[in-house]
Amino acid sequence: DKKDIGIVVPDDWQSVSYDCDQFALPTHYKKYLERVILPRGLVLDRTEKLVLDLFHSLDRSVPVVALCVLKGGFQYFADVCDNLKRHAAAHYPEAIQFNMDFIRLKSYEDDRANEEVQVIGGDNLEHLSGKQVIVVEDIVDTGNTIRKLMNVLAKYDPKSVKVVTMLSKRTPLNTSGYVADFSAFSIPVFFAVGYALDYNEYFRDLNHVCVLNNEGIEKFSA
């Protein structure tokens, strides 16, 4: 299937970004942010179309499970599910029923940090067998995390797995060339925060996708 790389934020992202003063940002973060890159309204409008395409790619005869990758995925997951519910209901009487599940991933800390991640939380993944799984991520950077997750999911024999991500980073570190099935936006290399994306647990409570400034990187470093 053709992959949707999404709206391309150019390498000179400054040219398509917004002055922080133009948005109602939490005052406790304002001086640590360089620019607003993707206002929430744009993310929502883009996601409406992304989910429409996703919806039409589904097989109506196979049960669907939407899988949220916590923590960073929670906001985008909610947006994707809101749209899915709307389309599913609008297609009555052939409405699609879907379940939701939530997982967290933990990287192995020993030498086996290679091709698998440990899944913590969520239901027993046995229930994915035979289902159409939609994985919802906040960001795909090197692609390592999602590739490892795909290896884990494959063991439970789902009918299909589609990966939806709000952001895909165009990084040279993505050496495997992994590309998500549906990306809302393709971004150049910068550290994105907001919209549930954190920097050491800060900035999740920021409504728009923003770029940190150097002061922010220093202030909130671990």
> Considering the rule CB under 6 A, would residue 193 count as an interface residue with ligand 5GP?
yes
Closest CA to 7 of 220, 197, 185: 185
Shortest distance (Å) from residue 115 CB to ligand 5GP: 12
Task: Choose which of 20, 180, 197, 210 interacts with ligand 5GP (CB under 6 A).
Answer: 197
> Considering the rule CB under 6 A, would residue 67 count as an interface residue with ligand 5GP?
no
Beta-bridged to residue 97, according to DSSP, are: none
Q: Helices in 3-39 by DSSP H: which ranges?
A: 27-30
> Considering the rule CB under 6 A, would residue 33 count as an interface residue with ligand 5GP?
no
**Choices 38-46, 86-94, 116-124, 195-203; region in contact with ligand 5GP by CB under 6 A:** 195-203
User: In this structure, how many other beta carbons lie within 10 angstroms of the beta carbon of residue 24?
Assistant: 8
> Considering the rule CB under 6 A, would residue 213 count as an interface residue with ligand 5GP?
no
Q: Which is nearer to ligand 5GP, 6 or 96 (CB)?
A: 6
Query: What's the helix, strand, coil split of the chain in %, to 5?
Result: 30, 30, 40
Task: Choose which of 192, 206, 209, 210 interacts with ligand 5GP (CB under 6 A).
Answer: 192
- The H-or-E segment that residue 46 falls in is helix 40-57
Alpha carbon distance 165, 163 (integer Å)? 7
Tokens of 191: 């550290």
Catalytically annotated residue among 141, 157, 198, 205: 141
Active site residue 141: yes
Q: Site residues (CB under 6 A) for ligand 5GP?
A: 72, 139-146, 169, 191-193, 197-199
- The catalytic residue positions are 141
